[in-house]
Amino acid sequence: MHKTLTQLYLEHEGKIAHKWISYLKFYDSVFLKFKNMPINLLEIGVQNGGSLEIWSQYFKKAAKIVGCDINSRCKELIFSDPRIRVIIGDASQEDTKKQIISESSTFNLIIDDGSHKSSDVIKNFALYFPYLEKNGIYIIEDLHCSYWKEFEGGLYYPYTTVGFLKKLVDIIHHPYWGVAMKRDDLIRGFEKVYGIRIGNESLCQIYKIEFVNSICMITKSAEEETSIGKPIVAGKVAQVIPGVKDSEGAVSFPDQKGNFWSNETNPDFVEEKLLQQLAEKEEEIEKIKNSFSWKITKPIRFFQKLLKNTTKYQ
């Protein structure tokens, strides 16, 4: 009899692992289909390495379990299970991605439990979702960080992790927008701010997005399987609306070019765009402030300000 993930955590005596109890209960329900499969698993964020040990016990038939952490001390971790591999590096960077993909060209399960900063989470999704297998699951943990400044978040900040995921919900429903926009048009702001690129070929493979407290689970499928499909009309008696049987339930989706709320002339959209532009400018200012030239000219600006104040009171 297989032990639940909660049981494995409660009984674990090896390397330290940390997960919220609600996560473990949720994972037991959604990871069931993978338990007896030779899956490849990627976990971003290793810390003490305990979760990798527990994944190896939970997924007994897993082919490879890859962990990635930016902390160089993680290279000191030693695992008895040869299926476990640890990559040292920033998962959101291309060179680290190459190391990860060299371990496994695709993954059935990807869990982002890394820095939880909005920029890293969104960059990671852009980098690794294309390497998720069909019917694979991409997990983003600790979404509560999306509301905190310390993690590049905020309830009304437009470029948070949760803000990005909300856009993905709209992207699933792209066929019904009724306006001349491609899926990736909706995330142009994120692409500009974070220097990423997520093509329509990846976005159209998002089959399902599920939220529970502090977790988002994204399931991937082939594009033809993500559509609403054809309607099925059952029965023979159409007493109230007789035309349904003749039309075979066919429905045409209305054009929304004239819909005020589907176009950027809508003041809410204008406000969102202005907020996005403001966020982009703040991002540029922050980069300038952190630049070498800005730091070495700090004394000059100080004396300029001092001179200005002295002149003002003469």
- Can you give the three-state secondary structure of 171-219, one letter per residue? HHCHHHCCCCCCHHHHHHHHHHHHCCCCCHHHHCCEEEEEEECCEEEEE
Banded pLDDT at 243 (limits 50, 70, 90): confident
Percentage with pLDDT > 90 across the chain: 70
What pLDDT is attached to residue 309? 67
Reference 141, options 211, 201, 221; nearest CA is 211
pLDDT interval class at 42 (50, 70, 90): very high
Contact status, residue 17 vs residue 50, Cβ threshold 8 Å:
yes
- Residue 291: the pLDDT is 80
pLDDT recorded at residue 87: 98
150-159: burial string, b at 16+ Cβ within 10 Å, e else: ebbbbeebbb
Domain segments of the chain as ranges: 5-226
Is the pLDDT at 246 greater than 80? The verdict is no
pLDDT at position 313 over 70:
no
pLDDT band (50, 70, 90) for residue 233 = confident
Q: Is the pLDDT of residue 292 over 90?
A: no
pLDDT above 80 (res 268): no
Check pLDDT > 90 for residue 247.
no
* Amino acid at the residue 152: E
Q: What is the pLDDT of residues 52-109, one digit of tens each?
A: 999 999 999 999 999 999 999 999 999 999 999 999 999 999 999 999 999 999 999 9
3-state secondary structure of 108: strand
Predicted confidence at residue 232, as pLDDT, reads: 83
pLDDT interval class at 312 (50, 70, 90): low
Pairwise CA distance, residues 162 & 166, whole Å: 6
d(Cα 164, Cα 189) in Å, to the nearest integer?
10
Q: CB under 8 Å to 292, separation ≥6 — which residues?
A: none
What average pLDDT does the segment 99-126 reach? 98
Q: Tell me what pLDDT residue 306 has.
A: 66
Between 250 and 193, the higher pLDDT residue? 193
Indicate the pTM of the whole model: 0.84
The CATH architecture to which 5-226 belongs is 3-Layer(aba) Sandwich (3.40)
